[in-house]
Amino acid sequence: MVKTTKTPNIVILISGRGSNMISIVEAIKDGSLPVTISAVISNRPDAAGLIYAQNAGINTAVIDHTQFESRELFDQAMANEIDTHAPDLVILAGFMRILTTAFVEHFAGKLVNIHPSLLPKFKGLHTHQRAIDAGEKEHGASVHIVTPELDDGPVVLQARVPVLENDTADSLAARVLEQEHTLYPAAIRKLVLANKIFT
């Protein structure tokens, strides 16, 4: 039997402006990332990234978390919407919701996140200030496979930046974000080419 190849299909989840989503779209446009985006889904109807996605001709959907009585019901609705697109990967790009174990397990091995620290250091919030307070010499971002434990799971790729003597949380965050925009498309490409997701 001849094995047929297909372009991997991804769904991107956002909550805001979607700057990492934009970097992924740009990488697809320039040919460096061999995937297609079947949908961009947001939990916030006012997410600016939705407008960008629509202008780029990408399907969009909103599952407003405020319309659900529980996290579980929201996650189920989100999973149902994602499943209609049958994605090979689900990409969290500034999606500001903690996901239930049931959701994570439903997409086990397919759910990818970017976190602004060199994991396993500084899981959770306020990573840039915490890195400065800890006297770190370098900081950065990690792309990892999502598991039920927050900011855990196998690291796919990391990017590093030096922590400068006069850094503030904002200045450090800006340099890390610049690296994220290169890192995330590269990590998705690594997953695709390593055939870790697709059989």
The tens digit of pLDDT for each residue in 96-155 reads 998 999 999 999 999 999 999 999 999 999 999 999 999 999 999 999 999 999 999 999
Euclidean distance between CA atoms 109 and 156, whole angstroms: 12
The tens digit of pLDDT for each residue in 2-34 reads 444 689 999 999 999 999 999 999 999 999 999
Mean per-residue pLDDT, 171-193: 96
How many CB atoms within 10 Å of residue 38?
17
Instruction: For the domain covering 9-194, report its CATH number.
Output: 3.40.50.170
Residue 79's nearest CA partner among 53, 49, 101, 56 is 101
pLDDT score of 23: 98
Euclidean distance between CA atoms 115 and 159, whole angstroms: 11
Using CA atoms, how far residue 38 sits from 25, 35, 57, 152, 163, in Å, is 12, 10, 10, 26, 38
Sign of CA dihedral 117, 123, 127, 131: negative
Strand arrangement, sheet containing 89-92: 60-62, 36-42, 9-14, 89-92, 111-115, 138-145, 155-162
pLDDT score of 2: 44
pTM: 0.94
Euclidean distance between CA atoms 64 and 102, whole angstroms: 19
Catalytic residue check, 65: no
Mean per-residue pLDDT, 147-165: 96
Classify the phi-psi angles of 130: left when phi > 0, otherwise alpha if psi is within -120 to 50, otherwise beta: alpha
Q: Which two structure tokens, joined as six digits, stand for 176?
A: 């890390």
Euclidean distance between CA atoms 150 and 117, whole angstroms: 13
pLDDT score of 145: 97
Beta bridge pairs of residue 13 = 41, 92
For the chain, the domains span: 9-194
Cβ partners under 8 Å of residue 80, min gap 6: none
Write down the catalytic residue from 65, 106, 115, 139. 115
